[in-house]
Amino acid sequence: MDIKKILSEMTLEEKLAELTQLNANMLGIDAGAAITGPAKAMRLTEAALNSAGSTLNFIGAKVMKEIQKLHLERNPHNIPLLFMQDVIHGYRTIYPIPLAMAATFDPDIYEECCAMAARESAAAGVHVTFGPMVDLVRDARWGRVMESAGEDPYLGSIMARAQVRGFQRGNKDDRQNVSACVKHFAAYGAAEAGRDYNTVDMSDHTLREYYLPAYRAAIDEGVDMVMTSFNLYNGVPAAGNKYLVKHILRDEWGFDKVIISDYSSFSQMKKHGYLETDKECARESLLTTTDIEMMSSEYLTYAKELIEEGSIKIEDIDASVMRVLELKEKLGLFENPYRSASEEDEEKLFLSKEHRDICRRAAEKSAVLLKNDGVLPFSADIKSIAVIGPLAKRGMIGFWSCAGREDEAVSVYQGIASLIGEEKIVYAEGCSSKLRAKPDRDMISEAVKAAKSAEAVVLCLGEEREMSGEGNSRVDISLPEAQVALIRAVAEANPKTAVLLYTGRPLALTDIVDDAPAIFTVWQPGSEGGSAAANLIFGKASFEGRLPMSFPYHSGQCPIYYNRMNTGRPRPKEFEPTPYTSCYLDYPNRPLFKFGYGLTYTEFEMTPVKLSADTMKAGEKITATVTVKNIGEREGVAMPELYIRDVYASVTRPVQELRGYKKISLLPGESSEVSFDITEDMLRFHTADGSYASEAGLFHVFVEDSAEVGTPVSFRLI
Ligand code: BGC
């Protein structure tokens, strides 16, 4: 298709409409999906509606085909619509939330999950998914932490790449893939106090060193689109932030594909107190080179005037339209505007055995065992088990679950029933699942009775779907009072009690950690959550997940992250405050459960790390080696983690930074030598003079089974 020719034939209004993205339900057909974000009166003419370039929020191939057909009949140049959707952790078959996927530390399973989601999405008529979300998050109060890979830029970058590969790779001939859109550019995850849409304020150093790498990784992996964010950076909303979008993304990084705004974020610049009029919003957004405007009509309404006045060039509008047409061409829409949309494929793929199997494996790998006083796994010969809790019979698919349905997801109750037989289960609800629920005496006594009558107990508690996700921030990230009371009572009634936690964020578990004999999190595990949990509980699968984020003792410790600075007065003793040092009087500085932590059903012994040399020159490498031995009675996955500290530098460096990890499966008694190469490029950072380079000097190396433990060995870069 000659897209240059199409462009040359388009009127200015058609071009501006091409850059406008509208909710699918505005395009003349009921699109079925819930609309996200506040829709507003948009001053749209019929001509603009007919020429809109892209759409979001629709459900399914049938609707997609109807909308596309109607659009092609009306569009003066036969330009097909681009269909976009938030496919964040699955389309209809739902895999664990992104935070859980980060806990797998396994990019291969993540890629497989995204490829699965891409197949289903393509069949449903989706062309672009609004993912991966790669915002770095240090504050678990933020509801959108569930969409992220947590607090570490190294892990975040690995997981960003895995998602882009999975979504975009597909099978090109069958077009069973989608374009990915990395978001939210930039630093949205640093919303102050974890409150969604709140102010972000950080130094350029912090932005570049910690927050930008994951977006950059997605771009290096070939992501097709970038979405800007809702937050301020340096006092300027990202939607109109020329430094972030034009300077860094376009000019420095050379990103020449499509950039889209977030939902109505252009016009929100007025509410931010940055711009007074919609026309100014249009001008500032255009000057960033953002191509598509999501669910507002500033370009459509004001760009003509801005061009006439000379503040915007028609060439820049043309460049944006070209980028959108190029994406349509790349996706093959000019050859086949319906692309892979197919009701038959939907039927074949949605919740297929193959897709459910992928989700189950992902859910097993992402679960993290936090505490186990010899309680788990339960024996497969168990005679009776109490399954207690308001979430035990629910399919827990989590926020942003697209076309997924709770009633199609396996609950823990169902998972256990199909593994050992429903007749062995006694069930009690125990409490309400609501955030502010108070303990209910009758419900607790029924639960205690059930617990006493059974050999062992699984308590299914934690966060409901709406307790995390967009707009769902919390001040207090401990468990609701009703749940704490239930755990205490049930654990006292039956010492073989395991607490299974659903959560979209790290929780502060101090209230229950001493009472509950075993605790594990399955996050929001998706369509096969219950079968994965049952396999883990009965030892048919083993825990191998590790925390991608610190679990604090108390919400008041947030933001909390392992790769922090040492301060000039570091705390000498973790559990006792020392006057005039950087500490709290009432809590330790460290979290209750550390980044990189996770138990297994076996135990490992690791030798102290050895370095192959104690000096290194640029161009050389040194090797850090440990030997890991399985000293327990079951097979398990060990994960030695390499952390490095640059002890003195022109800009202060964190006390530890993850620079590598390896997952190895070991049989009982088996041992394995694990080595990490350390090269000069791994020591680079944004230095005081603005370059990205390493600096000679002292480095500490840790190889441990979590962050914030162990004694380092040293080398010098000379
Ligand atoms: C969210 C984006 C999302 C968009 C479209 C916004 O409210 O911030 O992440 O992609 O809605 O649904």
Average pLDDT for the chain? 96
Pick from 205, 214, 210: which is nearest to 234 by CA? 205
Return the pLDDT at 685.
98
Q: What contacts 51, CB < 8 A, 6 or more positions away?
A: 13, 14, 17, 18, 75, 76, 79
Residues 649-672 pLDDT 10s: 999 999 999 999 999 999 999 999
The pLDDT value given to residue 36: 58
Reported as a pLDDT band with limits 50, 70 and 90, residue 160 is: very high
Q: Is the pLDDT of residue 559 over 80?
A: yes
Which pair of structure tokens corresponds to residue 491?
A: 């654990």
Any ligand 1 atom below 6 A from CB of 35: no
Q: For position 523, what pLDDT does the model report?
A: 98
Mean pLDDT of 461-470: 97
Going by C-beta distance under 8 Å and a sequence separation of 6 or more, which residues neighbour residue 576?
A: none
Largest CA distance in the chain: 81
Q: How far apart are CA 126 and CA 88, in angstroms?
A: 13
Q: What is the pLDDT of residue 68?
A: 97
pLDDT tens-digit readout, 263-303: 999 999 999 999 999 999 999 999 999 999 999 999 999 99
Which numbered atom of ligand 1 lies nearest the CA of 133?
9
How many A from CA of 471 to the centre of ligand 1?
11
130 CB within 6 A, ligand 1:
yes
Closest by Cα among 36, 51, 83 to 64: 83
Which whole number is the average pLDDT over 183-190? 98
pLDDT at 413: 98
Atom of ligand 1 nearest to the CA of 36: 12
Distances from the Cα of 81 to the Cαs of 146, 311, 680, in angstroms?
30, 29, 47
pLDDT of the residue at 174: 67
Q: Closest by alpha carbon to 523, among 196, 146, 159, 155?
A: 146
Query: What number of other Cβ atoms are within 10 A of residue 633's Cβ?
Result: 11
The response to whether residue 470 sits with its C-beta less than 6 Å from ligand 1 reads yes
Q: Which two tokens stand for residue 210?
A: 């910690």
Contacts of 381 (CB under 8 A, 6+ apart): none
Confidence at residue 448, expressed as pLDDT on a 0 to 100 scale: 98
pLDDT score, position 175: 83
Please state, for a pLDDT cut of 70, what percent of the chain lies above it: 98
Any ligand 1 atom below 6 A from CB of 152 = no
Give the pLDDT band (50/70/90) at residue 38.
Answer: very low
Q: Tell me if residue 262 is catalytic.
A: yes
Contact 427, 390 (CB under 8 A): no
Q: Quickly state the pLDDT bin for 414 (edges 50, 70, 90).
A: very high
pLDDT at 40: 47
Contact criterion met (CB below 8 Å) for 430 and 444: yes
User: pTM to 2 decimals?
Assistant: 0.98
How far is residue 244's CA from residue 233's CA, in Å, rounded to a whole number? 8
Q: How do residues 4-25 score in pLDDT, each as one tens digit? A: 999 999 999 999 999 999 999 8
How would residue 46 be classed by pLDDT, with cut points 50, 70 and 90? confident
What is the end-to-end Cα distance of the chain in Å, rounded?
A: 57
Instruction: Tell me how far the alpha carbon of residue 468 lies from the centroid of ligand 1, in angstroms.
Output: 15
| Spatial distance between the Cα atoms of 35 and 448, rounded to a whole number of angstroms | 43
Partnered with residue 182 across adjacent β-strands are: 226
> 262 CA distance to ligand 1 centroid (A)?
6
State the pLDDT at residue 143: 98
Question: What is the helix, strand, coil percentage profile of the chain, to 5?
Answer: 35, 20, 50
- Residue 570 in this model has a pLDDT that exceeds 60: yes
**pLDDT tens per residue, range 307-338:** 999 999 999 999 999 999 999 999 999 999 99
The predicted structure's pLDDT at residue 44 = 82
pLDDT for 39 beyond 50: no
Residue 172 confidence (pLDDT): 54
Tokens of 431: 């409490």
Could you give the C-alpha distances from 64 to 291, 517, 538, in angstroms and in order? 23, 51, 43
Interval between CA 399 and ligand 1 midpoint (Å):
12
CB atoms within 10 A of CB 460: 26
Indicate the pLDDT class of residue 28, thresholds 50, 70 and 90. confident
Atom 10, ligand 1: residue with shortest CA distance = 130
Strand partners, 458: 387, 498
Report whether pLDDT(47) > 70: yes
Looking at residue 491, its pLDDT comes to: 98
Q: Smallest Cα–Cα separation from 373: which of 509, 547, 496, 213?
A: 496
Catalytic residue, from 86, 135, 224, 262: name it: 262
CA angle, residues 403, 404, 410, in degrees to nearest 5: 165
* Stretch 403-432: mean pLDDT: 98
Judged against a pLDDT cut of 60, whether residue 517 lies above it is answered with: yes
Alpha helices in 188-267 (DSSP H): 204-206, 213-220, 242
**The tokens of 216 are what?**
């950059």
